[in-house]
Amino acid sequence: MANRFGRGPGRPCLHRNVNFNPKADYFKPRGIPMADLELIELTVEEGEALRLKNIENLDQNECAKKMKTSQTTFQRILSSAYKKISDAIVNGKAISITRL
């Protein structure tokens, strides 16, 4: 049975600490119209994980603490972000940064 958020029973969603506020929310290969591109959706959580790890140069435990999540969950978020960005770069897809 779905709850008031349209989800089934299980653990509720946690609100992680995210300070990532992108200046742009779309990135695409140059010279290809958006209508011709497949879109990859990167969440702000994934953007925050990338920012903390690669721009702030924090280790994963520090990143997890800043995002108020476990190290395992942080690793899952970071891995998902790397996979999406790699797919977009290698396969010429656009990236949209979405807010949950």
Domain ranges in the chain? 26-98
Per-residue confidence (pLDDT) for residue 68, from 0 to 100:
93
Per-residue confidence (pLDDT) for residue 93, from 0 to 100:
97
CB burial class (10 A; 0-12, 13-18, 19+) of residue 27? middle
Tell me the pTM. 0.79
Residue type, 45: E
CATH number of 26-98: 1.10.10.10
- d(CA 31, CA 53) in angstroms, rounded, equals 31
Residues of the chain with pLDDT under 70: 1-17, 19-20, 100
For residues 42 and 25, is the Cβ–Cβ distance under 8 A? no
